[in-house]
């Protein structure tokens, strides 16, 4: 007798049947008189009742295709044969692959042989189940890793449907994206569908489709046979492809679902809980990736806006500098061309006065007086051009009235001035912007429009000051002229934008010109 495999049993022998009944492995025990015990699991495995087994001394060996178990007992000393695989014949004739272990128990001097018999199919099924779960886990991990390294959404969708089809062994897999109007779902990615379906076919988002029903239920939906389904109607997409069974889950989103993920077969199939969990796990990885992309998009848009804003600020700063330079050029030209010339004339008039005759002296003095008067007028005009004091002292309306009158005197262009609500004082930057825009626009009319008529309309619309300058002159191509950023028009636009307003120019050759500035009134002051 082999020592290691023999158990010396004390007095628990009586409770052996009860103990054996608890095992899910078939167990038989026999001694020299025949079978003394057979548990329920063995009865289930063989199809015989325990009474039938106890009545026959050799039934186990017969069922095991005549394998002589007693000879292979530990007493026979052949250790290799104590655990082996063989075939068991069921009462109904079919064969079952089994694994057998044998050992012997000594009790009160008598030897009892015990055989454990296990269905190999069951073991194989467990093994294959474990392999399936491992494959499913690997698929979820693979998708998660692609999402983490920042793969784009369509790539992730394609990978997800491929992994689902391959891992579950289904003919069709799909991702349906809920369209912005919420009424339909678009087949965004898929495996197995006929050419031309992906990216084009839609299904309804209500009970007209399995996907729609899944969205309504907000939980997985499993279909065993689509032809007998009553919860929703089979959508053309599934019916046309001969789909019989399937399951679908929601791809959840932060504010609304992104869509539905599904797996379908043309053969009847019952999907297990683990299959559903796998599909939902894949859908959840996609949902997380979609959320992440949405956050990234918001950040990217914010960065783009910031960049654009910075570029606009820089352009604006350039325009302001350019406008200042232009004003300085204007003053310099005025001083050089007019004032200095007049001063030169004055200097020449006053030169060598001591050598001149009394009559000549009178003429020269009269000329000098006239030049000084001219100089005073020029300097006065220049200072008014730079900034008329009435703009600061009296406000926009008096300054505009003065400007229009002076302009008409100097240019012979008649100006019709219309205004409303201008008796209030506005913030200085608003008044200055309005005044400068009218001034530059009228200067342009005189210089370029070739007309004797212009109109200025200035209205206070409570939240903005609207300034409109029109003429019926030659007009110009406003689009291309503004693009070249010449200083007059660009300066007007910069002034409007600097205080949060805008300038619109409408003009075309032969069609006159219309400028409208909209200047927000943030701090309208008291009447003055
Ligand atoms: N009212 C207008 N009628 C016809 N053409 C105009 C009118 N206003 C502007 N333009 C055209 O648009 C161009 C650009 O005007 P803008 O005021 O920017 O520059 P400018 O008057 O030529 O020079 P400046 O920098 O001294 O103002 C002008 O040269 C002219 O051709
Ligand atoms: Mg100009």
Q: For residue 393, how far is its CA from the centre of ligand 2 (angstroms)?
A: 27
How large a percentage of the chain has pLDDT more than 90?
51
**Is the CB–ligand 1 distance for residue 511 below 6 Å?**
no
How do residues 344-358 score in pLDDT, each as one tens digit?
Answer: 999 999 888 888 888
Pair 89, 65: CB distance under 8 Å: yes
What's the rounded Cα separation, in Å, for the pair 347 and 357?
Answer: 18
Confidence label for 277 from pLDDT (cuts 50, 70 and 90): very high
Residue of 478, 488, 493 to test ligand 1 pocket, by largest number of atoms within 8 Å of CB: 488
Q: What is the pLDDT of residue 498?
A: 84
For ligand 1, atom 17, name the residue with the nearest CA.
Answer: 488
Per the model's pLDDT, the better-predicted residue between 72 and 265 turns out to be 265
**Is the CB–ligand 1 distance for residue 473 below 6 Å?**
yes
**Is the CB–ligand 1 distance for residue 475 below 6 Å?**
yes
Give the nearest ligand 1 atom to 326 CA.
25
For ligand 1, atom 27, name the residue with the nearest CA.
Answer: 488
For ligand 1, atom 6, name the residue with the nearest CA.
Answer: 448
**Is the CB–ligand 1 distance for residue 431 below 6 Å?**
no
- Asked if pLDDT for residue 316 goes beyond 90, the answer is no
Q: What is the pLDDT of residue 214?
A: 96
How do residues 149-171 score in pLDDT, each as one tens digit?
Answer: 888 899 999 999 999 999 999 99
Q: For residue 448, how far is its CA from the centre of ligand 1 (angstroms)?
A: 6
**Is the CB–ligand 1 distance for residue 474 below 6 Å?**
yes
Phi then psi dihedrals of residue 401, to 5 deg: -60, -45
How do residues 456-489 score in pLDDT, each as one tens digit?
Answer: 999 998 899 999 999 999 999 987 765 455 578 8
Q: What is the pLDDT of residue 181?
A: 92
Task: Identify which of 95-99, 185-189, 358-362 has the greatest average pLDDT.
Answer: 185-189
How large a percentage of the chain has pLDDT more than 70?
90
**Is the CB–ligand 1 distance for residue 488 below 6 Å?**
yes
User: What are the contacts of 265-273 at 24+ separation with CB within 8 A?
Assistant: 265/170, 265/171, 265/172, 266/171, 266/241, 266/242, 268/224, 268/225, 268/244, 269/170, 269/224, 269/244, 269/245, 270/224, 270/245, 271/168, 271/222, 271/245, 271/246, 271/247
Q: For residue 415, how far is its CA from the centre of ligand 1 (angstroms)?
A: 18
Query: Any idea what DSSP says for residue 76?
Result: G
- Asked if pLDDT for residue 500 goes beyond 60, the answer is yes
Confidence label for 303 from pLDDT (cuts 50, 70 and 90): very high
- Asked if pLDDT for residue 47 goes beyond 80, the answer is yes
Residue of 450, 480, 486, 503 to test ligand 1 pocket, by largest number of atoms within 8 Å of CB: 486
* Mean pLDDT computed over every residue of the chain: 86
Torsion of CA 342, 347, 351, 353, to 10 degrees: 70
Q: What is the pLDDT of residue 71?
A: 55
**Is the CB–ligand 1 distance for residue 485 below 6 Å?**
no
User: Of 169, 145, 167, whose CA–CA distance to 156 is shortest?
Assistant: 145
Q: How many CA atoms lie less than 13 Å away from 54 in the CB half-sphere?
A: 9
Q: For residue 462, how far is its CA from the centre of ligand 2 (angstroms)?
A: 30
Confidence label for 74 from pLDDT (cuts 50, 70 and 90): very low
Helix, strand or coil for residue 82? helix
- Among the residue ranges 219-228, 319-328, 393-402, 403-412, the one predicted with the least confidence is 319-328
**Is the CB–ligand 1 distance for residue 319 below 6 Å?**
no
What's the pTM? Answer: 0.51
Q: What is the pLDDT of residue 123?
A: 75
């Amino acid at each position: 007798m082999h020592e290691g495999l023999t158990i010396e049993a004390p007095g628990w022998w009586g409770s052996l049947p009860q103990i054996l009944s608890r095992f899910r492995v078939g167990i038989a025990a026999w001694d020299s008189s025949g079978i003394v015990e057979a548990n329920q699991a063995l009865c289930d495995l063989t199809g015989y009742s325990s009474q039938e087994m106890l009545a026959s001394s050799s039934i186990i060996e017969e069922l095991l295709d005549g394998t002589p178990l007693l000879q292979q007992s530990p007493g026979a000393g052949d250790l290799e044969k104590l655990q082996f695989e063989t075939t068991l014949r069921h009462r109904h004739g079919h064969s079952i692959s089994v694994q057998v272990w044998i050992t012997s128990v000594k009790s009160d001097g008598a030897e009892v042989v015990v055989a454990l018999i296990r269905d190999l199919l069951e073991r194989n099924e467990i093994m294959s189940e474990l392999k399936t779960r491992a494959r499913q886990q690997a698929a979820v991990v693979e998708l998660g890793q692609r999402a983490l390294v920042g793969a784009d959404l369509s790539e992730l969708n394609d990978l997800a449907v491929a992994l689902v089809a391959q891992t579950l062994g289904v003919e069709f897999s799909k991702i349906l994206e809920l369209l912005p109007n919420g009424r339909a779902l678009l087949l965004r990615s898929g495996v197995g569908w006929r050419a031309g379906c992906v990216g084009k076919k839609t299904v309804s988002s209500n009970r007209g489709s399995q996907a729609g029903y899944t969205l309504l239920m907000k939980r997985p939906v499993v279909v065993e046979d689509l032809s007998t389904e009553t919860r929703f109607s089979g959508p053309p997409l599934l019916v046309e492809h001969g789909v019989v069974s399937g399951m679908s889950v929601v791809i959840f989103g932060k504010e609304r679902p992104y869509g539905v993920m599904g797996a379908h077969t043309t053969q009847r199939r019952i999907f297990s809980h683990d299959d559903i969990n796998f599909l939902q796990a894949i859908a959840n990885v996609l949902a997380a990736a979609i959320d992440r992309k949405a956050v990234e998009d918001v950040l990217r848009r914010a960065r783009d806006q910031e960049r654009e804003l910075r570029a606009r600020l820089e352009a604006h700063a350039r325009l302001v500098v350019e406008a200042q330079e232009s004003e300085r050029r204007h003053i310099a030209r005025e001083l050089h061309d007019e004032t200095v010339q007049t001063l030169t004339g004055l200097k020449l008039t006053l030169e060598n006065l001591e050598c001149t005759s009394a009559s000549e002296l009178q003429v020269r003095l009269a000329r000098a007086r006239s030049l000084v008067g001219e100089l005073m007028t020029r300097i006065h005009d220049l200072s008014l051009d730079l900034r008329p004091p009435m703009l600061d002292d009296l406000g926009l309306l008096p300054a505009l009235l003065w400007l229009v009158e002076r302009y008409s005197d100097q240019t012979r262009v008649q100006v019709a001035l219309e205004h409303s609500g201008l008796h209030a004082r506005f913030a200085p930057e608003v008044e200055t912007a309005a005044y400068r825009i009218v001034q530059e626009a009228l200067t342009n009319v005189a210089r370029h429009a070739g007309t004797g008529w212009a109109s200025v309309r200035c209205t206070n619309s409570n939240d903005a000051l609207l300034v409109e300058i029109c003429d019926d002159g030659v007009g110009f191509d406003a689009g291309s002229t503004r693009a070249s950023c010449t200083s007059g028009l660009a300066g007007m636009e910069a002034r409007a934008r600097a205080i949060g307003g805008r300038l619109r120019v409408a003009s075309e050759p032969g069609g006159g010109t219309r400028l409208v500035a909209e200047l927000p009134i943030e701090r309208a002051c008291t009447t003055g």
